[in-house]
Structures are given as structure tokens and as C-alpha cells.
Structure 1
Amino acid sequence: MKHVVFYDADCPLCSNARRIIERLDWFERIYWIPLQEIEKTEYKLFITQNRNVYDEIHMITSKGKVLKGFDTVRRVLTLLPISFPISLILYLPFIDKIFSPLYRWISKNRYDWFGRYDSPQQQ
């Protein structure tokens, strides 16, 4: 089973990050679902159970664990051969105390900084 990542297709930062990660996902371990299309998938209940899906990126791991925000970012980086060594640093003690708030700050301001697509991007 693949890891499932839910991303905001209206967000240029999120969509561009997904495109880059897809190119680096050489073993195709990640399946991406735009939040704007989640109703068309078997994961439609996920959005009602996780109310802040637009605030932070969410992931369901291949083992069924739900991750969000910085935890999703560092898990995704462990799945990519090229970023795996660097991703291990993100699991050091107290790293999340720095990067979780940083992630939330970037996420909160992403539309102000990068804009917003007028309609969902089909990719």
C-alpha cells in the first residue's frame, strides 16, 4: 500500500512542492490527493474527521497512521532516496520544537506570500 498525502491544489507552494516530490519519488511510494477532489475518493470521510486539513498537510501512512504538518513533511522526506539522509536530522530530539511552529507559520501565510490558484489545478 502506498502512503497517501492530501494537499491543497489551490496553493501554488503546495502544488509545486508536490510536483518536485513526485519527481524524486523514484519508487512511487506516495499517492497524492488534492483536497478539492477528496469527495470523489474513498477518503471522503477523512476530511470530516480531520477538520484542519486545509491548515496543514495530512498523510495516511502505508500502515494507516495519520500524520499532519511537520510530521508529514519529515516522513515524506524519509521516503525519497535523495533526501533520506537529511531527513534523519529532522528526527533528532527537539527539532520538532523548532520546525513545527515554523511549518505552521509558513502554512498560515502561504496564500499571502504565494497567492492562490483561481481553480483547482488538475495534475
Structure 2
Amino acid sequence: MKSLKMVVFYDNWCSLCIAIKEKIQRLDWFGLIEMIGIREKGIEKEISVPLEDLEKKMYAVIKRNGKYVSGLDAFISISARIPMFFILWPFLIISSRLGIGHVVYKYISEHRTIVPVGKCDDSFCKLK
């Protein structure tokens, strides 16, 4: 089981992302997925992906081999580790191979709401 562990980097200023993170944590019965918010201080020490890219889509690192996956591929990797998501896995794979899943993921990620309430260090926060 240890070889299946992964670290997922999610946007902790996004209400949709937070809701998905909470569902994953509730259903991660085997403790295979560690969730880290990309808006935490020192995140650059955890992952070598620029913040601009982390803001666009979810990234994950497979601990066994250090491989990075992102976007729909990260969600596919998550679904392979959560028994309640197994039913989604074949559909996600097919949608990925057809390209439709990546289009849908990109649309959702570009239209999600970012709310940094009380979390801005600068005098101006860019809202999406």
C-alpha cells in the first residue's frame, strides 16, 4: 500500500477544490492521499511547479517514483486509490483518451471561483 501513496496539491482558496478535498479525505480509507493547499507559505519547497501553474490545475506527485501528474490525470490517479471512486475510473480513462475529459477539466478549472477572504498579504487580491 505504501507504494500507492501520493501528494495532491489543491487550491485552498477555491470553494469547489476545498469541497472535493474534504470528500477525498473522508473516502481515503487507506490513507494513501496527502492533500496540501497551494496557498500555504513555503509551498515552493514542497513542489517544483511554479505557483502560476498550480493555480491553473491540480497537481499530484506519486511518491513511489516521484512522477508528476496534473489536471484530469491527477484526478484519475486519485480515483484509482479511493474505493468509492473506482466506478468513475474507467469513464475517466476513456474521457481522457478521447480528449473530452481534458476539455471538461480545463473548463471547470477556468471557471471556478477563487475567494482569498482574509488571506491576502498585499493590499490587492486578484479574484478570479
- TM-score calculated relative to the size of structure 2: 0.78
Deviation of the 1:46 alpha carbon: 1.6
Q: How many residues align?
A: 115
Equivalent residue for 2:30?
27
Equivalent residue for 2:115?
116
Deviation of the 1:83 alpha carbon: 1.3
Deviation of the 1:51 alpha carbon: 4.1
Q: Distance in 1 between matches of 2:60 and 2:27?
A: 18
Equivalent residue for 2:59?
58
More helix by share: 1
Match of 2:20 among 10, 17, 33: 17
Q: Distance in 2 between matches of 1:13 and 1:86?
A: 19
Letter in 2 for 1:59: A
Compared with structure 1, are the counterparts of its residues 74 and 94 closer, same or farther at alpha carbon in structure 2 (3 Å cutoff)? closer
SS at structure 1 position matched to 2:69: strand
Letter in 2 for 1:99: G
Work out which of the two has the higher radius of gyration on C-alpha atoms and give 1 or 2.
Answer: 2
SS at structure 1 position matched to 2:112: helix
Q: Runs (4+) of structure 1 moved beyond 6 Å? A: none
With a CA cutoff of 8 Å and minimum separation of 6, indicate the structure with the bigger relative contact order. 1
Compared with structure 1, are the counterparts of its residues 119 and 27 closer, same or farther at alpha carbon in structure 2 (3 Å cutoff)? farther
- TM-score calculated relative to the size of structure 1: 0.81
Letter in 2 for 1:3: M
Equivalent residue for 1:8?
11
Q: Which deviates more, 59-68 or 9-18? A: 59-68
Compared with structure 1, are the counterparts of its residues 96 and 4 closer, same or farther at alpha carbon in structure 2 (3 Å cutoff)? farther
Tell me, which stretches of 5 or more residues in structure 1 are unaligned?
Answer: none
Compared with structure 1, are the counterparts of its residues 93 and 73 closer, same or farther at alpha carbon in structure 2 (3 Å cutoff)? closer
Give % identity: 26
Q: Distance in 2 between matches of 1:93 and 1:99?
A: 5
Letter in 2 for 1:106: I
